[in-house]
Structure 1
Amino acid sequence: MCGAFKTGRQGEMEMGMGLFGKLFEKKICSICGGEIGLLGNRKLADGNLCKKCAQKLSPWFDERRESTVAQIDEQLRDRERNLEELRGFSSSRGVGEGGRLMIDEAGGRFVVLEDADDDLLAVNPDLVSLAQVERVELEVEHISHEEKRMIDGKKQSYEPPRFLHYFDFWEVITTSHPWAKRIRFRLNGPSLPLHAEGIARRQPHLDAYHEVKAHIELPPAGLLADLGLNAPVELDCRTRQELDECDRCCEMHALIQSLLDASWADHKN
């Protein structure tokens, strides 16, 4: 019995050593042929990709694990051509503060930087034809944070509770581009605070997505007025300025939609 027990333990140890050895097993990049360091492997459907080659992929590409070596190789060749074309890219219109959409209206194409401060050639964003645009949408993310006051050195809730709301406005462009099928970037810079007054200040939840989307189709009467509140809303100077920022993001979305629609129609004809 003791011998059998020892053999079983030995088997477990050998299996463990085998798995441990595989972790440190030398892997080769299926694209460049270079050796992949520890924790540097990016798995493909039928091979391996090193970190350096992975960084050359489209910033909007999220199907790497399902891609074959041949597909990744094709994309990287396209990315080299894309970089050369970017050197001659000239933007006639630009929209966005967090991210940045830049349109070449004459050339019928556009690029998007996820961060407006990024260097165009360093990031090498995909040049997308306006004819490849399938849909333009606005997504609004909303979070709320309870405001508290200091009483005797401790944070305590107001009576009734007060909430500070934050909004982020995301532009989502769906395309038929092979590597940039879904482009999502933030229109605003830092998250936009909203110090609501009246009943809105006491609501921990606001149906931001549907209501703000509907706001785009309404006259600019102010964001809070369009939230379907059932009581009068008082706006101080600070709140009005914050609403203006939210409204401006809605206007940027409407501008992007109109620019892409108009340019697409021109190049279709």
Structure 2
Amino acid sequence: MSLFGKKKCCACGETIGAFYRKKLPCGFICEKCSHQISPLVKYAKFTDVDKLKEHLEYRKESSELLEKFQITRIIGEKERIVIDDKNQLVLFATEGDKWTKRQPDVIHFDQITGFDEYIEVIDSGDYYESSEGIENEVPKGFVSCNFSFILTIDSPWFSVMPIQINRDELITDDIDSAEYRKYKEMLDEVKETFRPYYRSARKIS
């Protein structure tokens, strides 16, 4: 068989066209199966076919959870945590994401086992990078703030989920301003939502 000949998908066994060459450690994979892999998982994880098939089965179950997902809360701006309080489910999305290109991972509340809060403060005279990737100097008498958190997740496929909740840097001369409090309250809301499920030995204040 030539280098560009047809190959079989290691997941479903279907023939892969000559112009599609998605290679995993465990073999080649077809376009349909590759699109079913979680966007949160690196291909290097699939060192054997059984692991890949196990993941695709997990994604099928996640798809079924998505069908019954009922949005009750959305926390965040550009990066968002989407919550279904009724079914105790959660997924992660970005602004404007309609979930049509890549299916999100849906997880249960009790899979969230830890929470870490991060408020980055850059002082006046220092530089921050804007959401457009441009470096700007923080004006005199002001600070630049970003608000983010990391959830620890009990899953064989990924263990953490970092989220920055503010879309643009908050430039403020008052850390007790309404804008600052808004983002801090978002962090607190996430922390308290999953507090009953935290398993970390360290205290989450």
Aligned in 2, Cα 1:52/1:140: closer, same or farther, shift over 3 Å? farther
TM superposition shift of 1:166:
5.4
Residue deviations 1:210-241 (CA, integer Å, cap 9, x gap): xxxxxxxxxxx717xxxxxxxxxxxxxxxx6x
TM superposition shift of 1:99:
1.9
Aligned in 2, Cα 1:138/1:38: closer, same or farther, shift over 3 Å? farther
Name 1:14's counterpart in structure 2.
Answer: none
Name 2:127's counterpart in structure 1.
Answer: 144
Partners in 2 of 1:120 and 1:48 — Cα distance?
26
TM superposition shift of 1:36:
5.0
Q: For structure 1, which runs of at least 5 residues remain unmatched after alignment?
A: 1-20, 147-161, 197-220, 224-239
TM superposition shift of 1:170:
3.1
The one-letter amino acid paired with 1:144 is Y
Q: Is the 8 A contact 1:86 1:121 kept in 2?
A: no
Instruction: Report percent identity of matched pairs.
Output: 21
Whether 2:116 is the aligned partner of 1:116: answer no
Whether 2:104 is the aligned partner of 1:125: answer yes
1:96-111 equivalence runs, <5 A: 96-111=76-91
TM superposition shift of 1:249:
2.4
Residue 153 of structure 2 is aligned with which of 158, 170, 175?
175
Whether 2:163 is the aligned partner of 1:163: answer no
1:188-199 equivalence runs, <5 A: 188-189=166-167, 191-194=168-171
Residue deviations 1:136-158 (CA, integer Å, cap 9, x gap): 12345668259xxxxxxxxxxxx
Q: Determine helix, strand or coil for the equivalent of 1:65.
A: helix
Aligned in 2, Cα 1:84/1:253: closer, same or farther, shift over 3 Å? same
Whether 2:162 is the aligned partner of 1:184: answer yes
Query: TM-score, normalised on structure 2?
Result: 0.71
Whether 2:20 is the aligned partner of 1:43: answer no
Name 2:33's counterpart in structure 1.
Answer: 53
Q: Determine helix, strand or coil for the equivalent of 2:55.
A: helix
The one-letter amino acid paired with 1:222 is I
Partners in 2 of 1:145 and 1:85 — Cα distance?
39
Aligned in 2, Cα 1:90/1:83: closer, same or farther, shift over 3 Å? same
Partners in 2 of 1:134 and 1:98 — Cα distance?
24
Whether 2:120 is the aligned partner of 1:134: answer no
Partners in 1 of 2:8 and 2:160 — Cα distance?
30
Computed over aligned residues only, the root mean square deviation of the Cα atoms, in angstroms, reads 3.2
Which structure would you say has the larger Rg? 1
TM superposition shift of 1:109:
2.4
More strand by share: 2
TM superposition shift of 1:59:
2.5
Q: Determine helix, strand or coil for the equivalent of 1:126.
A: coil
The one-letter amino acid paired with 1:252 is M
Residue deviations 1:155-181 (CA, integer Å, cap 9, x gap): xxxxxxx92375543332111122342
More helix by share: 1
Q: Determine helix, strand or coil for the equivalent of 1:222.
A: coil
Partners in 1 of 2:180 and 2:31 — Cα distance?
39
Higher mean displacement: 48-57 or 82-91: 48-57
Report how many aligned residue pairs link the two structures: 181
Residue 58 of structure 2 is aligned with which of 78, 103, 121?
78
Partners in 2 of 1:249 and 1:50 — Cα distance?
42
TM superposition shift of 1:122:
5.1
Partners in 2 of 1:136 and 1:35 — Cα distance?
42
TM superposition shift of 1:27:
4.0
Query: TM-score, normalised on structure 1?
Result: 0.56
Q: Is the 8 A contact 1:87 1:121 kept in 2?
A: no
Whether 2:195 is the aligned partner of 1:261: answer yes
